[in-house]
Structure 1
Amino acid sequence: MTAPVILAVDDDPTVRSAVEADLRDHYAEHYRVVGASSGDEALHALRRLRARDDPVALLLADQRMPGMTGVELLQHAVELYPDAKRALLTAYADTEAAIAAINDAGVDHYLLKPWHPPEERLYPVLDDLLETWRPPPLVADLRVIGHRWSPASHAVRQLLARNLVPYRWLDLEREPEATTLLELVGEDTAGLPVVVLGDGNAMSRPGLPELAQAVGLKVQAERATYDLVVIGAGPAGLAAGVYGASEGLSTLVVDQISAGGQAGTSSRIENYLGFPAGLSGADLTMRAHQQASRFGAEILTPVCAVRIDRVDPYRIVRLDDGSEVTASGVVVATGVSYRTLQVPGVEGLTGAGVYYAAGRSEALDHEGGEMFVIGGGNSAGQGAMFLTNHAAHVTLLVREPSLAGTMSRYLQEQLESADNLSIRYGTVVTEVKGSDHLEALVLAGGDGTTETVPADALFVFIGMAPRTDWVQPVVATDPAGFLLTGLEVGVRPQGWNVARQPLQLETSAPGVFAAGDVRAGSIKRVASAVGEGAMAVRFVHEHLANL
């Protein structure tokens, strides 16, 4: 593959030459720097690159250009290179226009002129954008053959997608190649889903841990004893992993699905400090995973902790494969899961039109369809906005009479401005209908009337339940199942056998801490979860000092 392109666009020849020179000084080894003097010239260059199937990693455009502004150029460029990172070069006087471009046009960043010295004001920003640019593989070595209405196929695809493993999906009903490939690997439709690995070997109806190991995910711990074991790899768990490993603790992080937790499935997190253009849950996950791994933390997925035993002063964490690890300190950061929709017809259609996350694979399966989202929180709003890029129409179903108090204002404004989205307040789903896949929903209004509407997909974001049943015999919870910590567990809770009082974020079991959404009284935001994960490590150190 040819080197990815960085395209710099400015109508001022002196500025353009300076930008190109700085870009070549820093990026010439791995990227090809191309310049253009206008929006039209840039689009012409992009069309030529697209015709040759050359990758484009970054577009850097000046805002004030005659004929076509930088924002207009970057908006047009999305049609040719939707995955390219986009940055605006602007004067201080155009800051408001740059911020509007981030909010309304999906621009990733803006840079103020002059940008010198580039080592401080140019390269760090562009390095960050380029590190998170991931060109889609031309041909993925991994292929998944299945039926789009199969829950088993959906589970396989979800595992790969949420762990950022590239694969090619071959729907048996839509792509003749699927049948041919089945014959070549000696499998038939009775064994669907079939995963064909890069070496040509096939796995028929693989278990998720078996598949994870086959595609290179880490599923077994390297050692028997750790200073710190973190259960859950959402924002709180990954933060604990980063801080624990960076401060010299031997650290193991395990998650039953994938790194990132629920935040990892978010299409756009727009209120996270330091990312004015927002970032996707996948980007946040990738950054945090890389950071924790760089410091030496081990991360296992999909691996589920099923029990914690006290063998004072240590804690034994037992895993679902029958293995166990010993820890001096434990951070429980298992987060919450969305409550399942309890209405007739749901159970048989989960994974076949009814979903509890709005990912790219689900959206593509229902491209151009009628999609419904249940929920009134930020996750529901983010999911609905993401789906507007793929659906003919999205309907957000909200039980309450308004979104005030449950959803951030910026998301409400985005929902209100979307052309192919509508909101139905005071509405609930009472039944889902379909044979092998979702076909219709029965909706009930506040006045008791019901209506049956055709539906291609339903995405459920209702309520939150903590994942704590596995730890409750050892750790105290509130009536809803959230873990009690600090002063809430009392001065000397039952079974407390150390001289000191419980530390902040410490549960009723000495040395077991809780962070993030799983903790009673926590603020359900990504930033607060990251903060609690970092804080928990500070208290783990204090606990270890007293062992």
Structure 2
Amino acid sequence: MSKPAILTVDDDQQVSAALARDLRSKYGRDYRIVRASSGEEALEVLAELTLRDRPVALIAADQRMPRMTGIDVLAEAQQRGYAVGAKRVLLTAYADTEVAIQAINDIGLDHYLMKPWDPPEERLFPVLDDLLGDWHTENPDQTSELRVVDHRWSDRGHEVKTFLARNHVPYRWLDVELDEEGRRLADLAGAAPEDLPLVLPAEADPLRAPTNVQLADALGLSTQAQQPLYDVCIVGGGPAGLASAVYAASEGLSTIVVERHAPGGQAGTSAAIENYLGFPKGLSGADLTARALAQVQRFGAELVLARDVVGLEQRGPVRAVLFDGGAIEARSVIVTTGVSYRRLEAEGLDDLTGRGIYYGADASDARQVEGDEVYVVGAANSAGQAALNMAKHAGRVVMVVRGTDLEASMSRYLIDRIEAHPSIEVRASSEVRSVRGDGHLEGLTILDRGTGTCTEVPASWLFIFIGAEPRTDWLGKEVARDRRGYVVTGPDLVRGATDAGETSTWPLPARAPYALETSVPGVFAAGDVRFDSMKRVASAVGEGAMAVHLVHRYLATT
């Protein structure tokens, strides 16, 4: 695979040469640096690269050029379908700030940089590092050495792809039924149907229908704790858990995070989080997760993946988090396991789950629905974001909503975009009653709740985003929960928010529970798993940080 290109567009030869020099010094080993001295020349270069199927990772265009401004160049390239997915940067003067901000909305500009950018180590490279890292995550086929061979409707194959994508492992997917290369590789490996998915690392033996633990081990991801005892064990790697890890490790606590799938939680699968403070263009859940993970690793917290926690034990002053094949002991525990989507009650659904029917969706899932009709069940923000992301690739997206509209459960900015999108239809007062298909989803029966009539529709894709159920069964009876399974903390313990009615479940008469402390002293809960939490990314991050402050107070008294 040829090096991805970075294209610079500037009519000032001196500035253009300086920019190219800086880019070559930092990125010349991994990228081809291409210069254009006008908008017209840039479009010609992009046309040639497109014809040759050469990847373009980033375009940096100067705004103040004659005949075509930088925004004009970026907009025209987008309209012509050149360098699809390339990160777009505008080089501006201070007076162009308003125009640049408007371009974020109009053409999806990724960033604007003030000139001059000296020193580049502080004002240029950090921005481009982030953008190029995002490009590589979004375009795994351009850089991958890991290959996955399976067929389109494989439930385990979908799980493998999801695990790889959410752990930011680039891979190339080959359909054994449609791709000549996929069939050749399966034959070379002597893979029987039960061996699929076949995972082919660049420098390891083939993996045949691997479990997540086997996959993680082969890829060098950590699946075992390195120490016998930690100050804090964080169960769950969503926004609350990652925030706890950053604050705990940065403040000197020995810290470990246990995550059963991949970091990021439900937020990590979001195609766009547009109301998170400090990101006016929004950011993807994968981007937010990658940034958080970099901080976690920088401060030295451990991360154990592919481990499903099954129990919690008190061992004197120590808490033990149990999982299949082992346990992690810590002086305190923070529960940040979040919630999972509630199962849809529809006839035939269980047999086809993973074969065209999925709970939630990764941003990367949208690529496999190219040109198809997609059904999305749900009316909250997660469903709206998924519908908008799917609509970039699908021929049509139909949202199936039980309520009469989206107003009660979705943010206004998402409603406005859905209503304005020509490829999205909202079927209100409706629900999926049954599904059908031979080996994979082929059709749905949709009930109109207003008229009572049912309609049969052909469908290959159904993504479900309904309700939320906390993953708390593993905590046992000692940790108080409300009737729906959410963990009760702090003052709510003595206010009777649990099944125990008005009886206090707090065992220590000498002090009241800390704000995020559960009914087991030293065990805290943060984020969506907690009773009466806000269910927003920002609040989960805040609670994760607050939990560490309370852990310090607890450890100081034990």
TM-score by length of 2: 0.91
User: What letter matches 1:142 in structure 2?
Assistant: L
Are the equivalent residues in 2 in contact too, given 1:22–1:118 (CA < 8 A)?
A: no
Q: 1:131 to 1:415 in 2, by over 3 A?
A: same
Q: How much does 1:275 deviate?
A: 1.5
1:509 and 2:511 are equivalent in the alignment: no
Closer, same or farther: CA 409–360 of 1 in aligned 2, 3 Å: closer
Please say if residues 358 and 387 of structure 1, whose CA atoms lie closer than 8 Å, have aligned partners that are also in contact: no
Name whichever of 22-31 and 325-334 sits farther off: 22-31
Cα contact 1:157–1:361 (8 A) shared by 2 = no
Partner of 1:527: 538
Match of 1:426?
A: 429
Q: 1:438 maps to which residue? A: 441
In the TM superposition, 1:465-504 aligns within 5 A as 465-490=469-494, 493-494=504-505, 496-497=507-508, 499-504=510-515
CA distance in 2, matches of 1:123, 1:138: 22
User: Relative to structure 1, is the Cα distance of residues 157 and 6 closer, same or farther in structure 2, using a 3 angstrom cutoff?
Assistant: closer
Q: 2:131 maps to what in 1? A: 129
Shift of 1:55: 4.8
Greater shift in the superposed pair: 325-334 or 442-451: 442-451
Partner of 1:105: 107
Which of the residues 257, 261, 264 maps onto 2:261? 257
Quote the residue 2:499 is aligned against: none
Q: Are 2:379 and 1:368 aligned?
A: no
Query: Alignment partner of 1:132: what SS?
Result: helix
Counterpart contact for 2:140–2:172, Cα < 8 Å: no
Partners of 1:109 and 1:276 within 8 A in 2:
no
Q: 1:409 to 1:378 in 2, by over 3 A?
A: same
Shift of 1:139: 6.2
Q: Which residue of 1 aligns with 2:305?
A: 301
* TM-superposition CA deviations, 1:291-349 (whole Å, max 9, x none): 10111111111111111111232111111x22011111111000111111111011011
Match of 1:176 in 2: 180
**Percent of aligned pairs sharing the same letter:** 52
User: Deviation of residue 51 (structure 1)?
Assistant: 5.2
Within 2, Cα distance between the matches of 1:447 and 1:363?
33
AA paired with 1:517? D
Q: CA deviation at 1:83?
A: 3.4
Instruction: For 1:452, give the aligned amino acid.
Output: E
Q: Give the deviation of 1:122 after TM superposition.
A: 4.6
The answer on 1:70 being equivalent to 2:81 is no
Deviation by residue 1:108-142 (Cα, 9 ceiling, x = unmatched): 12234566776665554344334433263546332
Closer, same or farther: CA 498–350 of 1 in aligned 2, 3 Å: same
In 1, the alpha carbon distance for the partners of 2:494 and 2:381 equals 33
User: Would the aligned equivalents of 1:224 and 1:324 in 2 still touch at CA under 8 Å?
Assistant: no
Deviations 1:254-282 (A, max 9, x none): 11110111111111111111222211111
User: Residue in 2 aligned with 1:341?
Assistant: 344
Q: Deviations over 1:349-374 (max 9, x none)?
A: 11111111223553333321110111
Q: Which residue of 2 aligns with 1:81?
A: 83
- Output the CA distance in 1 between the equivalents of 2:486 and 2:551: 20
- Give the secondary structure class of the aligned counterpart of 1:258: coil
Provide the aligned C-alpha RMSD in A: 2.4
Q: Residue in 1 aligned with 2:246?
A: 242
Change (3 A) 1:218 1:56: same
Matched-pair contact (CA < 8 Å) for 2:143–2:170: no
Matched residues in 2 for 1:72 and 1:377: separation? 36
Give the drift of 1:143: 2.2
Match of 1:459 in 2: 463
CA distance in 2, matches of 1:118, 1:197: 36
- Is 2:14 the counterpart of 1:17? yes
Q: Which amino acid aligns with 1:238?
A: L
The code of the aligned residue for 2:90 comes to L
Q: CA deviation at 1:477?
A: 1.1
Q: Name the structure 1 match of 2:500.
A: none
Give the 3-state SS of the residue equivalent to 1:364 in structure 2. helix
For residues 109 and 288 of structure 1, the distance between their equivalents in structure 2, rounded to whole angstroms, comes to 20
Q: How many residues align?
A: 543
Q: Deviations over 1:34-59 (max 9, x none)?
A: 44333221122233444566554322
Matched residue SS, 2:535 = coil
Q: Contact 1:427/1:444 (CA < 8 Å) preserved in 2? A: yes
Which piece of structure 1 moves more, 286-295 or 193-202? 193-202
Q: In structure 1, what is the Cα distance between the partners aligned to 2:315 and 2:366?
A: 47
Determine if contact 1:3/1:30 at 8 Å carries over to the other structure: no
Structure 1 unaligned blocks of 5 or more: none
C-alpha separation between the residues in 1 aligned to 2:234 and 2:180? 45
Letter in 1 for 2:205: N
The structural deviation recorded for 1:516 is 0.8
Q: Distance in 2 between matches of 1:139 and 1:541?
A: 43
Give the corresponding residue for 2:384: 381
Structure-1 separation of matches of 2:326 and 2:443: 44
Distance 1:298 1:409 in 2: 39
The answer to which of 394-403 and 251-260 deviates more is 394-403
Contact 1:309–1:474 (8 Å) recurs in 2: no
* Alpha-carbon contact 1:228-1:331 (below 8 Å) kept: yes
Residue 148 of structure 1 aligns to a residue whose secondary structure is coil
Task: Give, in angstroms, the shift of residue 428 of structure 1.
Answer: 1.1
Match of 2:498 in 1: none
Correspondence list, 1:41-80, <5 A: 41-50=41-50, 55-78=55-78, 79-80=81-82
Using the TM superposition, give the Cα deviation of residue 2 of structure 1 relative to its aligned residue in structure 2, in angstroms: 6.7
Distance 2:433 2:206 in 1: 41
So what's the TM-score if we normalise by structure 1?
A: 0.92
Q: C-alpha deviations, 1:230-261, integer Å up to 9, x for none?
A: 00001110111111111111111011110111
Distance 1:411 1:63, change over 3 A: farther
Matches of 1:191 and 1:127, distance apart in 2 = 39
